[in-house]
Amino acid sequence: MGIGDSRSEDQNPSEMIGLVGVGLLGQALASRFVTAGLPVIGWDVHPEARQALAALGGDTAESAADALGCRRVVLCLPDDGIVASVLEESGEALPSGATVIDTTTGDPLRQAKTGARLAARGIDYLDATVGGSSRHVREGIAVVMAGGDAKAFDACRDLFESFSSQAIHVGECGSGSKMKLVVNLVLGLNRAALAEGLALARGFDLEPGLALQCLQAGPAWSRAMDDKGAKMIEGRFEPQARLSQHLKDVKLILEAGQESGVRLPFSRLHRQVLEAVEAAGFGDDDNSAVIRAWGSPGNEPLIDGMC
Cβ contacts of 135 within 8 Å, gap of 6 or more: 28, 227, 240
pTM across the whole model: 0.89
Condensed to tens digits (0 to 9), the pLDDT of residues 25-50 reads 999 999 999 999 999 999 999 999 99
Same fold, 13-173 and 179-294: no
Contact 288, 231 (CB under 8 A): yes
pLDDT of residue 244: 97
Range of weakest confidence among 225-239, 245-259, 287-301: 287-301
Condensed to tens digits (0 to 9), the pLDDT of residues 123-168 reads 999 999 999 989 999 999 999 999 999 999 999 999 999 999 999 9
Of the chain, the percentage scoring pLDDT greater than 70 comes to 94
Fold of 179-294: N-(1-d-carboxylethyl)-l-norvaline Dehydrogenase; domain 2 (1.10.1040)
Domain 13-173: state its class.
alpha beta
Check whether 295 has a pLDDT greater than 80.
yes
Contact 140, 113 (CB under 8 A): no
pLDDT of residue 303: 85
Domain segments of the chain: what residues?
13-173, 179-294
- Give the whole-angstrom CA distance, residue 44 versus residue 67: 10
